[in-house]
Amino acid sequence: MNALTSMLRITDKSVSLSPEIALGVYGLSAGYGAETIVRDASFEVQTGERLAIIGPNGAGKSTLLKAVLGLIKPSAGSVRFLNRGFGAVRQHVAYVAQADEIDWRFPGKVRDLVAMGRAVHLGITGRLTATDWRAVDRALGSLNIAHLADRPLSDLSGGQRRRVLLARALVQDPQVLIMDEPFQAIDVSTREALIDVLDAFQAEGKTAVIVHHNLGDVQALFDRAVLIDGTVASVGSPQEVMASPAFAAAFGAVHQNAA
């Protein structure tokens, strides 16, 4: 029944888009094969909040995101988006993967990739209407890449790829945006463009959960932070998390002093 519902695009119209908790993760454990990477993770994200997921390399940040979204099957625990299971609200949740998870040699244009974001709102044929194409153009414009619309995917630079992936997420018109290291290896202008878009997104009362690597700007960019080190080691404001013993244990005292 669930598969049929999703194929026919029957969505739950009763979902409230402004509950207090945009994302709730409760006792989540996940990994690959027999190996558990993240154990018993629990935290909540308030609606309208911008939350950073930080942690050392290999701590399980990306694994946590994939388990939250159901891309890998959790071995324990549950996840609630907007007070519902993911299947009931999937059209309101967008995910921006790391740029290397896409085959950029694919024979397609930027416009085609960004239009993928509308697919969750379309019928079974996936045919886009004029309204959908206008939304694609708006998303491209908001990230200052309208001029790239007809460019082949293979011709994009690293920074342009990040903008295109964020445009694809925005064109979905989500309430919750999940991003995996969007600020990694980008130039200053791309960084500014991403921050502007995230500011505008948050100004609309929407929620962003972002895996973030650069500890130097967590306090400037985020309302709260979750420290992952195999489990949720600390939750709170960026200042609280970075002053916690768990942060020192995960990154060492040098990072803590620098932060």
Could you tell me the smallest distance in angstroms from the CB atom of residue 59 to other proteins? 21
**Residue 173 CA neighbour count, 13 Å, CB half:** 11
Could you tell me the smallest distance in angstroms from the CB atom of residue 107 to other proteins? 5
Nearer to other proteins, 61 or 224 (CB): 61
Could you tell me the smallest distance in angstroms from the CB atom of residue 100 to other proteins? 12
Classify residue 56 as exposed, middle or buried by CB count within 10 Å of its CB (0-12, 13-18, 19+): middle
Could you tell me the smallest distance in angstroms from the CB atom of residue 177 to other proteins? 13
Residues within the interface to other proteins (CB under 8 A): 3, 6-7, 33, 69-71, 87, 90, 93, 95, 97, 101-103, 106-109, 112-113, 115-116, 119-120, 124-128, 152, 168
> Are the beta carbons of 42 and 25 closer than 8 angstroms?
yes
Could you tell me the smallest distance in angstroms from the CB atom of residue 89 to other proteins? 11
Nearer to other proteins, 150 or 220 (CB): 150
Nearer to other proteins, 93 or 166 (CB): 93
Q: What's the CA gap between 114 and 153, in Å, rounded? A: 11
Nearer to other proteins, 17 or 71 (CB): 71
- DSSP-derived letter for residue 142 is H
What are the residues whose beta carbons fall under 8 Å from the beta carbon of 22, sequence distance 6 or more?
A: 45, 46, 47, 48, 49, 81, 82, 175, 176, 207
Could you tell me the smallest distance in angstroms from the CB atom of residue 152 to other proteins? 5
Nearer to other proteins, 126 or 245 (CB): 126
Count Cβ atoms below 10 Å from residue 242 Cβ, excluding itself: 22
Q: How far is CA 244 from the centre of its chain?
A: 25
CA torsion sign for 47, 50, 56, 61 is positive
Nearer to other proteins, 4 or 254 (CB): 4
Nearer to other proteins, 116 or 243 (CB): 116
Q: What's the CA gap between 248 and 12, in Å, rounded? A: 44
Count Cβ atoms below 10 Å from residue 130 Cβ, excluding itself: 7
Residue 52, beta-bridge partner list = 210, 225
> Are the beta carbons of 30 and 23 closer than 8 angstroms?
no
Could you tell me the smallest distance in angstroms from the CB atom of residue 101 to other proteins? 7
